[in-house]
Amino acid sequence: MAESAISVRDLSKRFGSVTALAGVDLEVPTGTVFGLLGPNGAGKTTAIRILTTILRPTGGRAEVLGHDVAREPAVVRGLIGLAGQYAAVDPNLTGRENLRLIGRLTRVPRAARRTRADELLERFGLTGAGDRTVRTYSGGMRRRLDVAASLVPQPPVLFLDEPTSGLDPASRLGLWELIRELVGAGTTVLLTTQYLEEADRLASRVAVLSAGRVIADDEPAALKERLGTTVIELRMADGEQAMRAIGLLADRLARAAERQDATVRIPSRDEPRLLLDVLHLLDREALVPRGVAVRESSLDDVFLALTGQHASNSVEGNGA
């Protein structure tokens, strides 16, 4: 078995004059969850489409379990599962029929198709709806069925593009547990997500894409440590006060801070006096926060520092 399940070198993709990927390098170890993060238009979905042989790269090289995605697409398709951003199941078939059809298309033995379909319906909480046509399913139910369909052939490499989008909290937690079980059994998962908590909980390594380039690639804990172990949050009266606060922090305390609307966030390395210094400075300028909080740094803070926006405001659409 290849040491790296997915290997990407200098991968590029252009659509006319638009560059979606501009020399991406990635290495995904076998039997791990790798998180691919980035703001809207960063290139996440384009990368997934290339790795799953839907698109051909403009340049560079990408391999899945040692097989080139451009030169050996048929072999690669036999090794992977994909749950994209939008449900790809047939609305005119029942949930059970959809899963059995996928089994047939992926050459799962006839006897195993029925068993596998029943197992997945139960695992995703769809047994009671298994014999209803998918057109009667809610959006969340369709999403669960789509992820289940990607697991029918039990692929060694699984691509999940925003897998929990539209799922309720209980279904999301259930899918997280399933992903952990799959990885424990040796499956490799490449995950894109708009939920930073998801990447933090599941991924052993994450890469952040911006404008088609990798701007960070490390373990989640290391990325957060690079930013600071804690974050001070100041909720000001309005955006204007928040901007004044950021200016003061930069001028008087030489502190970089980020702003979201009326909230100012200041990374800290557990310096005990920093919060007191900040509050004294703002008080002298008659800038009194309406709320103050100190918490551990998160991947969302890293994402904001690297890309200038929060993940919740950067859901990727149909483009790159």
Note the pLDDT of residue 316.
44
Note the pLDDT of residue 1.
44
Supply 278's token pair.
């900040």
- Cβ proximity of 20 and 316 under 8 Å: no
- Cβ proximity of 153 and 104 under 8 Å: no
* CATH level 3 topology of 4-217: Rossmann fold (3.40.50)
* Among 268, 278, 276, CA closest to 245: 278
| Cα 112 to Cα 116: distance, rounded to the nearest angstrom | 6
Q: pTM of the prediction?
A: 0.75
Supply 85's token pair.
């951003």
Domain ranges of the chain: 4-217, 229-296
Residue matched to tokens 């170890």: 29
Supply 287's token pair.
């800038």
Note the pLDDT of residue 306.
72
| Cα 283 to Cα 281: distance, rounded to the nearest angstrom | 5
Q: What is the pLDDT along the chain (320 residues), one digit of tens a residue?
A: 458 999 999 999 999 999 999 999 999 999 999 999 888 788 998 999 999 999 999 999 999 999 999 999 999 999 999 887 666 789 999 999 999 999 998 889 988 999 999 999 998 889 999 999 999 998 778 888 988 898 898 899 999 988 887 777 877 888 888 889 889 989 999 998 877 788 888 999 999 898 899 988 989 888 877 766 678 889 999 999 999 999 888 888 777 788 888 999 887 776 667 888 889 999 999 999 999 988 777 777 777 777 766 555 444 444 45
* CATH level 3 topology of 229-296: Alpha-Beta Plaits (3.30.70)
As a three-state string, the secondary structure of the chain is: CCCEEEEEEEEEEEECCEEEEEEEEEEEECCCEEEEECCCCCCHHHHHHHHCCCCCCCEEEEEECCEECCCCHHHHHCCEEEECCCCCCCCCCEHHHHHHHHHHHCCCCHHHHHHHHHHHHHHCCCHHHCCCEHHHCCHHHHHHHHHHHHCCCCCCEEEEECCCCCCCHHHHHHHHHHHHHHHHCCCEEEEECCCHHHHHHHCCEEEEEECCEEEEEECHHHHHHHHCCEEEEEECCCHHHHHHHHHHHHHHCCCCCEEECCEEEEEECCCCCHHHHHHHHHHHCCCCCCEEEEEECCHHHHHHHHHCCCHHHCCCCCCC
Note the pLDDT of residue 169.
81
Residue matched to tokens 């995703």: 124
CA–centroid distance for 133 within its chain: 30
